[in-house]
Structure 1
C-alpha cells in the first residue's frame, strides 16, 4: 500500500521563529514526530511518503500514487487540516486522521469527510485500523479505553524526514503528567500517570539520528520531562555516558514543572548530558489564580528563587504565562511583565487563557454557559479568548497587548538576556571544535549589523556582548543565539498587537449589536455573537 502522510500548516505562532530560521537557512523549527511514529507502527512493507506542508505541498505525483492519506494535527493546525481532508476527498482518496485535535474534537474531521478516525494513542488504535483495512472496511472510528505501554513503541521513521529543513529534532521519552492544572489538555489526552520508554530504547533512537548525520539540537517533547523522576534519572545516567562517548553531538532542551528546582541531582544530571534550556509553565505570579486553576506545584516555593536556581546550574529558563484567569485582578499584565523582568527570563511565551476541548476548564465553562464557540479560532498567541471571563475582555486584551509589546521591546529584551546570561553557568560538556557553517556565519553577520549598527540597540548590543566576554565568556555563543531571537520578536509583537486589536474591534462591534437587540430575546450561547450580551 502506498501511504501519503501529510502534516498540516502551522499558522505563525510564538514558536514559529520564521525570521531566525531564514537567517540559518532552515524552514521549520521541529518535525512531525507523531506522524513518523505512526509510520513506524504501521506495517513496514507499506510504502510511506511524508509531506510536511510547513516545508512544501504534496506534488501531483504524490497525490496520484497514494492509496491512503493519513493526517495528524494539533488544534492550532485545524484550518489547514480540514482543507487538506477536503482536498484528499476531492481526489477520491481514502483518508485516515488522528492526533491530539481529532482525538479531542472528532466531529469536525468527520464533517470534513475523513473515512477513518484513529484516535487516542496509536500503539493501540493503529493495529485496529490495519485489521479493518485488511477486512475490506472503508470507514471506522477506533478508540482506546486504556493507555499503552510505550516501551513497545518502535523507533520513529526519522529516515522519512527532510532533515536539512529542520532546525531541531524531536524525541519523546514520556507521556502524561502527574499534576491537575484545570486548563491543560495533556492530562486529558495522556493521563496523570507518566509512562516512559526505557533508557536503552531512547538511546537506540539517538543512535539512529547520529547515523543519519544529525548534529544539531534535540527537543525532548515530553510535556513534563520530569513527571517520573526516578525513570528520568535512570535515563540521564545512561545518556551522560552516551554523550561523552560520542563527543556531545547533541544539545538538548525540554519542558518541565517548576519543582525541577528542588532536585539538585536531577538538574546536575541534565546539565552533564548537555541540556541547555528548559521550558517552565509559570502561568502567573498571582498565587490566587494558581490555586484556582489547581496549579498547586507553583505555590510551594518562591517562583523567582526556583528560576534563579535553575539558571545558575546552567539551564536557560523559558517560561509560559497566561492572562485571563477567573477572579484575576486588574493589572495582571503589568504583574507578569514585572515578574519576567525581575526573574530575568529571556523567553516568556505569553497568551490569553483559552479553554481547550474536554479539559476541566472547558467542562466547567460549558456548565456555566460561558463558552464562545467559534469554529474559525485556531487558538494561539494571536487569538482572543474563547470564553466569557470574569472581568471585561476589553480590559484583559488591552493589558495583554501592552504587556506583550513591552516584554519584547528590543532594548528591554537585550537587557533581560544579558542579566540572565551573567548568571547562567557555562556547560561542562566540551564538544570538539567544529568549523561553523556558512549559513551560521552569515546569520551572525546580519545580527551584528542590524542590532550592533543599524538599530538604536547598537549601544546596548556592544556593551552587553563585551560584558559577557568579560564576566561569563563560557556562554557567549549561547548568548548570541538569544540576541538573534530579537529578530523574531520584533516582528511577532507587531503581529500580536494588530491581530488582537482587530479581533477586539470585531468583538466590541458584535457586543454593541447584541445590546441593540430587543431585551426579550433569549441568548443562544452556542454562538459568539449571541453570547456577547452577557459580557461583564
Structure 2
C-alpha cells in the first residue's frame, strides 16, 4: 500500500505565530504529533510519504504515486481539510480521515466524500481499518467503544519530520482530564480518567528526538499534564536524571489545570526537569461564571495567588480566557483585562465561548433550543467567530468586550510591559539553565530582527524596547532567551489583533470599537 499522509494548513490563528516564526526562518510552531503517531501504527510494509502542508506542499507526483490519502485535522483546519478530501476523490484515490474534527463531526467528512472515517483513538481503530482494507472493503466508519491503553502506543515517526522547520517538537504523556468543565470537548474525546504512558516509554520518545539531533523546546501536548499527579511525578523523577546526564538538551512547556499551584512538590519537579512554561485554563476571574461552567477547580483558591505561586516556582504562564458564559455580567472583558495586568500574563488567549459538538454545553443548549446554525467556530473554522448559540446577554456587548479586550491587551507598549514583568516575577533557582531554546544561528537571526523591528522601526516602543532590554540584562540575564522570545511573539499578536477586529467587523456589519448600531 502506498499511503500519502497529509496534514492540512492552519489559517492565521492565535497559535500560528506567523510573523514570529518567519522572523527566525521557520515554517511552523509544532509538528502534527497525531499524524506521525498514525504513521507508526500503520503496517511496517506500507510505503509512506508524509507532508505537513504548513511546512511544504505535496507534489502532483505524490498524488499520482499514492493508492490512499490519509488526513488528520482539528476544527481550525476545516477549509483545507475538505479541499484535500475533494481533491483525493476527484483523482480517484481512496481517502481516509481521522483526528479531533472528524471524530466530533463525522458527517462533514462524509459530505465531502471521504471513504474511510478512522475515528476516536488510532491504537484501536487503525488495526480495524487496515483489516477492512485487506479484506477489500471500499468504505467504512471505524469507532472505538473503549479507550486504548496508551502504554501500548508506539514511538511516533519523528524521522518523517523536517525538524529544522519547526520552532519546537511535541510529545504526549497522557490523554483525558479528571475535571468536568461544561464547554470542554476533551472529556468527550478522551474521557475523564487520565491515561498515562510509562516513564520508560516517554524517555524512549525523548531519546529518539535526541538521537535525531533535536536540541531545543519540546511541547508536551497533554490537555492537562497533571491530570494523574501520581504518574506525572513518576515520570518527572525519571526525567530529571535523564536530562542531567545529557546536559539539558531540551526545555519543556505544557498545559495544566490551575490546581498545579496547590502542589509544591510537583511544581519543583517540573522546574527541575526543565519545564519553563505552562498554559493555564483560567477562563474568567468571575467566580459565578466558573460555577456555571462547572470549572470548580478554579474556585478553590484565589486565582491571582495561584498565578503568583506558579511564577515563584519558576514557570512562565500562558493562559486562556473566555467571554460569553451564561449569566455573565457586563464588564467581564474589563475584568479579564484587569486580571491579566495584575498577573502580568504576557499572552492571554481571549476567546468567545463556543458550544462544541458533543460537549455538555452543546447538549444543554440543544435541549434549550438555543443553538444557532451557520455561525461559530464549528461552521467557520477560525477562532474569531461569534458564538453559535443565543447568549444570556447582548451579543453586541460580548463582541465589543472581546474586540476591545484583545485590542487593549495587545497594545504594543502594554504587551512589552507584561513580558518584562512576567520574566522579573520568575523565581528561577538554577540561573545557568536555559529557559527557551533556539539553535544559535536562528537565535542570532531573531535578535537582529528584533533590534531592527522594535529597537529601530517602531518609534512608539523604541525607547521602551531598549530600556527593558537593559533591565533584563542587569537583573535577570539568565531569562534573556525567554524574554526575547516573548518580544518576538508580539510581532505576531500586533498583526493578529487587527485580523481579529476585521473578522468580527465583517460578521457584525460594523466595527465594535467604533460604534454599535442603535438599539443593540
Say whether the fold is shared (TM-score over 0.5): yes
CA distance in 2, matches of 1:421, 1:386: 37
2:401 alignment partner, one of 399, 420, 427: 399
Aligned to 1:449: 452
CA distance in 2, matches of 1:319, 1:207: 30
Aligned to 2:62: 62
Aligned to 1:515: none
CA distance in 1, matches of 2:511, 2:223: 33
Deviations 1:427-455 (A, max 9, x none): 62746999963332122112122222322
Cα shift at 1:470:
2.3
How do residues 290-309 of structure 1 correspond to structure 2 at under 5 angstroms? 290-309=290-309
CA distance in 1, matches of 2:438, 2:205: 26
Contact preservation (8 Å) 1:3, 1:48: yes
The 3-state SS of whatever aligns with 2:61 is helix
Unaligned runs of 5+ in 1: 509-534
Task: Return 137-146 or 191-200, whichever deviates more.
Answer: 137-146
Deviations 1:470-529 (A, max 9, x none): 222321221111111111111111111111111111899xxxxxxxxxxxxxxxxxxxxx
Contact preservation (8 Å) 1:183, 1:361: yes
2:462 alignment partner, one of 458, 472, 496: 458
The 3-state SS of whatever aligns with 1:484 is helix
Q: Does 1:497 align with 2:504?
A: no
How do residues 67-466 of structure 1 correspond to structure 2 at under 5 angstroms? 67-374=67-374, 377-426=379-428, 428=430, 430=432, 437-455=440-458, 456-466=460-470
The 3-state SS of whatever aligns with 2:416 is helix
CA distance in 2, matches of 1:435, 1:390: 46
Change over 3 Å in CA distance of 1:113–1:314 after alignment to 2: same
Deviations 1:407-446 (A, max 9, x none): 0000011111111111112362746999963332122112
TM-score, normalised via structure 1 length = 0.92
Aligned to 1:19: 19
Contact preservation (8 Å) 1:75, 1:378: no
The 3-state SS of whatever aligns with 1:485 is helix
What is the number of residues matched between the two proteins?
A: 511
Contact preservation (8 Å) 1:248, 1:430: no
The 3-state SS of whatever aligns with 1:469 is helix
Deviations 1:327-351 (A, max 9, x none): 1111111000000000111110111
Task: Return 443-452 or 396-405, whichever deviates more.
Answer: 443-452
CA distance in 2, matches of 1:210, 1:151: 21
Cα shift at 1:383:
1.4
The 3-state SS of whatever aligns with 1:349 is strand
Contact preservation (8 Å) 1:274, 1:427: no
Task: Return 143-152 or 424-433, whichever deviates more.
Answer: 424-433
CA distance in 2, matches of 1:265, 1:435: 29
Q: Does 1:35 align with 2:35?
A: yes
Contact preservation (8 Å) 2:31, 2:170: yes
Unaligned runs of 5+ in 2: 513-518
CA RMSD of aligned residues (A): 1.9
TM-score, normalised via structure 2 length = 0.95
Deviations 1:247-280 (A, max 9, x none): 1110000000000011010010110111000000
CA distance in 1, matches of 2:454, 2:171: 34
Cα shift at 1:379:
4.3
Contact preservation (8 Å) 1:11, 1:76: yes
Change over 3 Å in CA distance of 1:183–1:44 after alignment to 2: same
Deviations 1:61-80 (A, max 9, x none): 11011011111111111111
The 3-state SS of whatever aligns with 2:50 is strand
Contact preservation (8 Å) 2:281, 2:321: yes
Contact preservation (8 Å) 2:454, 2:461: yes
